[in-house]
């Protein structure tokens, strides 16, 4: 399981996202968002090299799901997906990427939907996150995902000769998977008034 270091990061993740979020097609706020960390979870990289985090941030009443990966060196060919660079107090320089363009994250997301790995707590080492729920009704393992495609509210991945995995970027409290979904992920986040809500993070739909 990933080790979460209690240390400083400069600039902070929220500082990076404040600049990056307004450039995304699924972001519908102002040019200068006022972000707060509201929830999320982590997945483990089996090789122990890449940090994988699904972060929920709020900007006023709106909530966004931002999957991030953290690497010790640049990811070749992923310059377009770079969120920014940070200095980690323990690990040194880190390159933060939009995880939808990182094959380590997408592989582990599929493994999680299928039940082959477990969600980890966002800020505590060696601790499962029991609030993240998943389901899978398929009978065969999914192949590798195709390149992501952003829409107004989600990032979608086609599966060759198969369904579409939809990662919801704009979160909706109380949302659930549509009828006929082959699998889904739901999670919990805090609204600005402190109310904790559950909604749909991802679903797997027949094309």
Render 42-85 in DSSP notation, one character per residue: EE--TTS-SEEEEEEEEETTEEEEEEEEEESS--TT-GGGEEEE
Would you tell me how many other CB atoms lie within 10 Å of the CB of residue 74? 13
What confidence tier does 139 reach under pLDDT thresholds 50, 70, 90? confident
**Residue 118 pLDDT more than 80?**
yes
Average pLDDT over residues 173-196: 95
The H or E element spanning position 200 is strand 196-205
Is there a domain that residue 100 lies in? yes
At 90 the pLDDT is: 63
Residue 3 belongs to a domain: no
In this structure, of 31-35, 93-97, 136-140, the range with the lowest mean pLDDT score is 136-140
Mean pLDDT of 19-48: 95
| Confidence label for 116 from pLDDT (cuts 50, 70 and 90) | very high
Let me know if residue 4 belongs to a domain. no
pLDDT(92) > 90 = no
Across the chain, mean pLDDT equals 92
Query: Does the residue 81 lie in any domain?
Result: yes
- d(CA 207, CA 204) in angstroms, rounded, equals 9
Q: How many structural domains does the chain have?
A: 1
Confidence of residue 52 (pLDDT cuts 50, 70, 90): very high
41 inside domain: yes
* Span 152-168, average pLDDT: 92
Task: Report the half-sphere exposure of 82 (CA within 13 A, side-chain side).
Answer: 14
60 lies in a domain? yes
> What is the spatial distance between Cα 98 and Cα 189, in angstroms, rounded to a whole number?
20
Question: Which parts of the chain fold into alpha helices (H)?
Answer: 13-20, 103-114
pLDDT of 40 higher than 80? yes
Cis omega (within 30 of 0) for bond into 11 = yes
Angle at 173 between CA 185 and CA 100, to 5 degrees: 45
Structural domain harbouring 149? 9-205
Does the structure show a pLDDT above 70 at 3?
Answer: no
- CB-side neighbour CA atoms (13 Å) of 137: 12
Q: Does a structural domain hold residue 69?
A: yes
1 lies in a domain?
Answer: no
Rounded distance, CA 74 to CA 83, Å? 11
CA torsion sign, 82 to 87 to 90 to 91?
positive
pLDDT (0 to 100) of residue 135: 96
Q: What average pLDDT score do residues 11-25 get?
A: 95
How high is the pLDDT of residue 111? 94
CB 189 within 8 A of CB 65: no
- For residue 6, pLDDT over 60 is answered with no
């Amino acid at each position: 399981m990933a080790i979460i270091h209690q240390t400083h990061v400069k600039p902070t993740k929220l500082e990076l996202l404040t600049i990056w979020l307004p450039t995304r097609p699924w972001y519908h706020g102002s040019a200068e968002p006022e972000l707060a960390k509201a929830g999320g979870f982590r997945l483990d990289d089996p090789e122990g090299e890449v940090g994988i985090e699904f972060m929920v941030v709020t900007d006023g009443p709106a909530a966004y799901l931002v999957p991030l990966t953290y690497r010790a060196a640049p990811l070749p060919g992923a310059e377009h997906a770079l969120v920014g660079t940070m200095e980690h107090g323990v690990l040194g320089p880190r390159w933060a990427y939009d995880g939808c363009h990182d094959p380590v994250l997408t592989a582990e997301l599929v493994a999680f939907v299928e039940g082959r790995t477990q969600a980890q707590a966002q800020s505590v080492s060696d601790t499962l996150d029991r609030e993240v729920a998943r389901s899978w009704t398929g009978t065969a393992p999914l192949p590798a995902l195709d390149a992501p495609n952003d829409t107004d509210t989600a990032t979608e991945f086609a599966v060759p000769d198969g369904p579409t995995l939809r990662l919801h970027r704009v979160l909706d409290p109380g949302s659930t998977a549509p009828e006929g979904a082959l699998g889904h992920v739901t999670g919990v986040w805090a609204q600005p008034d402190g109310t904790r809500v559950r909604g749909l993070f991802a679903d797997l739909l027949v094309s």
